[in-house]
Structure 1
Amino acid sequence: MANDNDVNNDGTALPEGAFDGPAEFGAHVRTALAAAAGQGWTEIVLSDPDFADWPLGERAVVDALQAWAASGRSLKMLAHRFDVFERHHARFVHWRRMWDHIVQCRALPQWSAGDVPSAIWTPSWSLRRIDSERSRGVCGASAADRVALRQRLDEGFQAGRPGFPASVLGL
């Protein structure tokens, strides 16, 4: 059962429990990012081997990130590689350029793609895909799950190198 802190401005609750399939996964990503501004999350961490099947290029997702973005906010992203963004998430790439000062991206080419968690971490909610191929996983407000996920994501950030620059400058 969701409490008042787990409800979006439009009255919808953040999802809890198991999810199965790409449609449900995408809906959970959209719901979480739509909740970010209303929940006042100061930090969001997104992690995936390549983000190819995430709805990050959708107008509604970018609008949600725009509503959330402000001074003092932080979006961290962790991936095996980020090359899919230019091809599949053009709106997100544009948003990322405008908000470069709050976005930190780390690439983990030295890890196998399967070792990079497919997850969302927030201060009060998390989502983790256990089977990325079938988009199966769990989500919810469990503090134990959030702590364990954050430890794994922090390990990745420490091991990673800067990736997905906001712009490519050349001479």
Structure 2
Amino acid sequence: MNEPAIARFDTRRELEAHWNALLARAQGRLDLFDPDFIVWPLGTPDTEARLRAFLHDGGSLRLALHATGHIERNCPRFLRAVRDYSHRVECRQTPRSLRHLSDSFALADGLHAVRRFHCDHLRGEAAFDAPAEIELPAHRFEALWEESLLTLETSVSGL
């Protein structure tokens, strides 16, 4: 394993660069949480291509969120990938009791993370090859995942 690398960020460009680096490193599992994913570039062609490659190679994606509206309206590429790889993707919506959670993070393979400290700000931290840094957000993700309900399901006619 490589030496842990931790970098702070506070701009959209830096967030997207760290997101792309995380996707490039992801091999087995991606766990994503954000209240609405407005800031994350889920709808871009680059993200779609990287996610499709990740899922095609056997990866799995779990996405948890409070509100689905932004993704449903603005991320058709992401939704197509979810539909095409529905056997490897699960999306869940948090219950009202968890809607106060305001952090945001993407975790890959228990080794890499991109975290925004609060969903209203771009300030955050990226950690690569740093399992100790992933432990707390991974635990938080598992807890909210267990409480959340299935959403963004696909059907024969689409969503």
TM-score norm. by structure 2 comes to: 0.86
Q: Which of 53, 63, 71 is the matching residue for 1:67?
A: 53
> Which runs of 5 or more structure 1 residues have no equivalent in the other structure?
7-14
CA RMSD of aligned residues (A): 2.3
Residues 112/158 of structure 1: CA separation in 2 closer, same or farther (3 Å cut): closer
What is the alpha-carbon distance in structure 1 between the residues aligned to residue 97 and residue 36 of structure 2? Answer: 12
What is the alpha-carbon distance in structure 1 between the residues aligned to residue 97 and residue 42 of structure 2? Answer: 23
What is the alpha-carbon distance in structure 1 between the residues aligned to residue 157 and residue 49 of structure 2? Answer: 27
What is the alpha-carbon distance in structure 2 between the residues aligned to residue 101 and residue 149 of structure 1? Answer: 25
> Does the residue aligned with 2:8 lie in a helix, a strand or coil?
strand
Aligned match of 1:10: none
Aligned match of 2:120: 133
Q: Bigger shift: 92-101 or 131-140?
A: 131-140
> Does the residue aligned with 1:155 lie in a helix, a strand or coil?
helix
Per-residue deviation at 1:32?
Answer: 1.6
Per-residue deviation at 1:80?
Answer: 0.7
> Does the residue aligned with 2:87 lie in a helix, a strand or coil?
helix
Aligned match of 2:95: 109
> Does the residue aligned with 2:83 lie in a helix, a strand or coil?
helix
> Does the residue aligned with 1:101 lie in a helix, a strand or coil?
coil
Aligned match of 2:149: 161
What is the alpha-carbon distance in structure 1 between the residues aligned to residue 92 and residue 132 of structure 2? Answer: 25
What is the alpha-carbon distance in structure 1 between the residues aligned to residue 102 and residue 149 of structure 2? Answer: 14
What is the alpha-carbon distance in structure 1 between the residues aligned to residue 57 and residue 115 of structure 2? Answer: 27
TM-score norm. by structure 1 comes to: 0.81
Per-residue deviation at 1:33?
Answer: 1.4
- 8 Å CA contact retained: 1:80, 1:116: no
> Which runs of 5 or more structure 2 residues have no equivalent in the other structure?
none
What is the alpha-carbon distance in structure 2 between the residues aligned to residue 71 and residue 24 of structure 1? Answer: 27
What is the alpha-carbon distance in structure 1 between the residues aligned to residue 54 and residue 130 of structure 2? Answer: 23
Correspondence 1:15-164 to 2 at 5 A: 16-36=6-26, 41-70=27-56, 72-123=58-109, 124-140=111-127, 141-164=129-152
Instruction: Determine what percentage of the aligned residue pairs are the same residue.
Output: 28
Cα deviations by residue, 1:1-56 (Å, 9 ceiling, x for unpaired): x939x8xxxxxxxx7321112221122112221333xxxx2111011001011111
What is the alpha-carbon distance in structure 2 between the residues aligned to residue 120 and residue 59 of structure 1? Answer: 18
What is the alpha-carbon distance in structure 1 between the residues aligned to residue 71 and residue 52 of structure 2? Answer: 18
What is the alpha-carbon distance in structure 1 between the residues aligned to residue 102 and residue 120 of structure 2? Answer: 13
> What count of residue pairs does the alignment treat as equivalent?
156
Per-residue deviation at 1:133?
Answer: 1.9
Per-residue deviation at 1:144?
Answer: 2.0
